[in-house]
Structure 1
Amino acid sequence: KVSFGGNSLPGCLPVLTRFTGYIRPIPGLGANALGVGHVAMTLDPDGPWRRSLPLACFHDRMYPSLPLAAALAAQKLRTSDVRVEGDTLVAGSVRAPLDANGRLPIWFNGPPGSYRSYSYAHLFYSELQISEGTKPGIDPAEFRDRIVIIGTSAAALHDIFTTPFSGAASDSAKGGGLGKMMGAEVHANILDNLLSNRYLRPVPRALSWLLVTLASLGLLAAILYLRVFVSVGISLITFPLYLGFAQWVFRDSIQVPVVPFVLGALLSMICGFGYQYWIEGAEKRRIKQMFSRYVSKDVYNELLSNPKAAELGGTRRVATVLFSDLRGFTTLSESRPPEEMIAQLNEYFSEMVEIVFAYRGTVDKFVGDMIMAIFSAPLPDPLHADRAVGCAIAMQRRLVSLNQAWKAVGKPELHCGVGINSGDMVVGNVGSQSIRSYTVIGDNVNLGARLESLCKEYKTDIIISQNTYGLLHETYAFTELGEVTVKGKVQSVRILSVDWKQEAGAPVETA
């Protein structure tokens, strides 16, 4: 028999705030009650009733809530027996954990209708049946040694509330509304918590922040440092794993932060994938700026799909360089109109560049009428020596076709010499802060240029070094030229001439 003072509309009443007034029970009921409990509540900002206000203050006097007053009456205790020890409310066998605002998180035992309820009309009719000597529809024994909470279920009386179970399917007759819970049943849940000492125990705020921070940073690190498909997979399974973990510990009345974790994880994903997209886009733009005109379309697409393979920052690598220079072009250009010579030179370059691309080479630069090409950079290629020799042979054969076409229209014929060398080279971006280009440097690069200049002296078209010869996988027709000491080198170098006019030894297949 615990009386309470009327209904209270939902509000956000601060804990232990001095209330300006209260509604007393009717005199006849209040005088015979074992105690009086308040029914004030605090609703969360998003609407649900998740926390109980076990103590309230009016005129410097403490008033227990209805469930706490019932728990005190069940133990034959008074309000004066209630004390707070740290963050725990103690009242006899009751040990209720309080949050920082003195509120008690409610452990709901189930959706609306989890506790047995009876219509007052049925009770009234059962009492009439007893007075008439017939068997009642509701046996009075069902209420023996029980705590009974009386409340209303009519929606118009504003005593139904949203709870964490409001999304669960429930019968409107049980829950007093579609998914909402009667105020009396909320009080029943709180009373059950107090008597059984089973409470919803949120993880401490400091630990919650630590958990969310570590999880968010861990997800961000996975996105930034792991491969894309791995980080995407981790991101996809993170949410169900964490929500499953939250549900698992919730069975033991432990509440871990869910919304902060979801927000933190989403922020990590947005920042991580956004940064990756920006970095990848910047890398692709850099590659496009550097290589779109200097490598074949296939090599360019490979670079876009795997930018890190190019090692643009600079690295030492075994590669092959090819230098091709026109003979006597400077003298020839002095006797012809510059427009005609430039047009013919551009036609020659277009054909030669097409061949370099076909053999997966990179056009490093044009210096006057010279072409410098690299093989095995920016993408590593184990057949770089074969591709360079095959490219040189194809260039010479294409030049024969060009000369035939030029001769037919009265244009002068052109002839070129090609020097090829292989070995350790430094490849990467070279230049100033404002202008840079991807190139190769080193003694082996210089040797390749020197070999091209020897073509005129040895009256041959293609000269390769012993270094390149030792890396070849295919068979070509060669002529030994002996050893030569080139400018800038102390040791002599064995060189060979490629007999490109012979059919023996076809060049390596193009890409």
Structure 2
Amino acid sequence: MILKYINTLNHLVNELIKVFQHIRVSPLAVGIGLLIFFCLLHLGHMPFANSFIQRIDALTYDLRLRLSTESALNRVPPIVIVDIDEASLQEEGQWPWSRRKLARLVEILNKSGAAVIAFDVTFAEPEENPVDTILANIPPEQSTLQPDLTGLRDVLDADQIFANIIKDKGIIFGYLFHHDTHFEKGVIKPSNLLWDETIDSLPNGLIMRGYTANLEKLTNNAAHNGFFNVFPDDDGVIRRSPLILEFSGKLYTSLALETVRHYLGAETEPLNIKTQRVGNVDVITHILLAGKSIRTDAVGQINVPFLGKAGLFPSLSASTVLHGKITTDLTDAIVLIGTSAKGLADIRTTPFQPAYPGVEVQATLIHGLLNPEILPFTPEWSDGAIITEMLLLSLLMLWIYPNLKPSQLIFIGTILLLSVILFNIGLWEKWHIAITLFSPVLLVSTTSSFFILHRLLKEHSTRQYIHDVFGQYVPREHIKRLLENRIALNTDGERHEMTVLFSDIRSFTAISEHLTTQQLKRFLNHYLTPITAIIFDHQGTIDKYVGDLVMAFWGAPLPDPAHAEHAVLAALAMQTKIQAMQDEFKTLGLKQTVAAGIGINTGEMNVGDMGSEYRRAYTVLGDAVNLGSRLESLTKYYGVGILVSEDTVLQCPTLAFRLIDFVRVKGRNEAVRIYEPVALRQQLTPATNEHLVKHQQALDSYRNGQWKIAQQQLITLAAENASHAQLYHLYLQRIATHAGQVPDGWDGSFTHHSK
């Protein structure tokens, strides 16, 4: 059915090409139309494509950033991170730590010469006073101790101790604003900001609804506070960060900005905001800080000047600082206290890596504010520059393209494309100007492609020849996808991690003996057609049919990152389909139920065009393939429909599995765990979950040599689950065989001596 669809579609394409060959299309008119289209697209007049364009622009921005990182970090002034890392949590205990410990940390850092200490954490909850804890649990007969204990409350107030320590030590506390909730906790202090006095309202900025801040006594004793919000783009990647946010009619500054202000000694000077009137709104253009001009976007954000992957800034584990083992010179340093521990959830996605500590984002912002010349920015004139660039490119292409051959078109088009890219990268490298690359690149690519296609329509026979050549090496159902996705197929042979599936009808010989030749043919066709469709629907490739056996694999020729998951889902769908077809099989003359065993394994396999000069096939070979075949043959022994290896299970996080055995199959010395897939985790019922827990407990008891316990558990399971009674009776037979004695060297494995 699929092959019929592909052939019909191919015929339709051929007919359309014949029609277009007779249509007079003016390349000049098409070129002008493309220019107008892409200008409108760039200016945002086509909402259906805006999100797509923004996504592509973000990816090109990330690529430029990764290709142009600074060779060395500016070490003046030093920015040092004191990291509450996994080692610190293990050494000092889980977060939150006592404020006494944090006070000691601040004292050590201050004595070591730190100029400014900024906390990328929030202290919104008071620490419980030990006096209150004792009073709440003191017996009535000890009530005479209450006055003495009450007098100690202030002495043992950890929050007050912390507040006293941070006073006059240049401490900056961070806090968090909320977009969509009016929740307010703690105390925040507004910043000293100035802007054009002729403006009646606040400059345009991002408006927050609520906040989670620090305790009042901490905020009042700190040098200042600042928010540490960084807002990801739609794809979840951090590229920009606000320096100013609006809350309740006032403007507040970021943690990074306040840290730099205090480091530069400008904390007493008003922060000057430069604005520009755009329509009816006053937008922010610059922030003046201690003689430095920092360009922002219209709402006070800057592009984060990432320098590379995490780890560029000097870092000290918090536990080593607390123990006085400081290996980095902190004289006049800016010290950021934050966390890289995954359990504390301050991990961000950046253009360089998906797990980037939030404290390093703050360090990067501070570095950029101290060195504003490295901050990427998008100028106000960027749209006009892009439109002019596209106009000049279109005029050049329409002038020279009509007279070029296809090979020349490809060459010149590539040169123009590289020129556009290099020009864009040059603006970035020299002046850190970030303007869109997508629109001019797409214009050059599309216009060039149109002229190339216009020249190649008469060479369609060559494309058909290529189609036929590919058809000799890969399954024809994949040819169209390979051509559409432009995936290079290496038929010489490669080694990849892939997943292989074997499916075989049980007792097929007995079934076939009761069928005529025509009945057998109809049965196999009726059986293999939906099974093949399921494999194709799950992105698999049919390797071969051997009678009733079906061999398929995932991961080639089309790459499939989820090859293991697709194979298991296909197997589950195959079993469901076979059960649903029982009535149809009876109409074909079958007198018994049709059941199939399926084996699946994931591992390194050789894939390619293999065979002799007389017959070749695109197939997979290797030990991992053999194990998949062995697993299929074991399904009947265990009375299950599907068996998969542990390597497959590890790549299927969305699926639930039932451990079946720990076995050595014929031809392999190493024991492997084999499983039966149950269903998607989200589809599991409470009863199924309960059964899986009991099942695992029984097998654990068996492997641990606790055979009396295992025996009782297995008997109960066999009674409760008739569908798996064969499996549980196998284990009971093994226990009986050993007469209740655990053999020497017992590891719970079982060796199969036959295929």
The TM tier, using the shorter chain, reads: 0.3 to 0.5
Higher CA-based Rg: 1
Higher relative contact order (CA 8 A, sep 6+): 2
TM-score, normalised by the number of residues in structure 1: 0.45
TM-score, normalised by the number of residues in structure 2: 0.31
Point out the structure with the larger helix share.
2
